[in-house]
Amino acid sequence: MKHQDQVVLVTGAGQGIGQSIVSYFATAGANVAAVDINADTLNASVNELNANVAGNIVAITANIAKSDSVRDAIAAVVEKFGRLDAIINVAGVGSIDAFVDTPDEHWDKVIAVNLTGTFLCCREAAKVMQAQGSGCIINVSSTAALTGEGPSHYCASKAGVMGLTRSMARELAPVGIRVNTIVPGPTNTPMMADIPEEWTQQMIAAIPLARMGEGEDIAKVASFLACDDSGFITGQNIAVNGGMAFI
């Protein structure tokens, strides 16, 4: 199995893309730490997955926008499994706001979770991986960062993730850590449920493959980036969007 005995941490693991990635990696033999801020949703998801897929999945409740919470989560993974081979930063939030009407608190929350949260998780994971001399960091951005088709705070935060990846990849390569970003297009997740149906249909119409992505589409690319098959790939932003936009 491609990820046999690998230790993988996934944020935003309670639903959507994160849940799909947890399931995919566990089935492929990994020990998976599923991290989410919503304990009830997370525990229900992990219990269901442990009952229905092979693998070892543990639930860790954490707020990735808080340094102490991230530090504790990473420490818990290392204490349980002894190492951390890969972290996949999926957790994200958004809200529908016209630019001139965006409240300060909406801007602050989206940046805090999507960009600062990714930074905090990467920083703490890199400390562990640097001591090991190996590791893989996978961030998740959005095609909205390429097209600008979305609320300003969301597009800005996801564009920031792509820049963060490039910088980290250069700095961490000499210590054996690869860093890449997956850039999904519209994907069939609970977050999409808040978007008006008219907007959803417009997005699908703009996708050459004429469908929304599924969580497993993203999980398969994460699997490739987290294994030795991609050992010479770092600093890349990889679009998984059905041809909606190019990098």
Strand, coil or helix: what is 175? helix
Burial class (CB in 10 A: 0-12, 13-18, 19+), 85: buried
| Number of CB atoms found within 10 A of residue 167's CB | 11
CB 23 within 8 A of CB 49: yes
Contacts 24+ apart (CB under 8 A), 37-44: 37/61, 37/62, 37/63, 37/64, 37/91, 38/14, 41/14, 41/15, 42/13, 42/14, 44/14
Q: What share of the chain is helix, strand, coil (3-state, %, to 5)?
A: 50, 15, 30
Q: Cα separation of 114 and 154, whole Å?
A: 8
Catalytic residue among 24, 25, 81, 154: 154
Q: Is 154 an active-site residue?
A: yes
Amino acid at 150: G
Active-site residues, by number, are 154
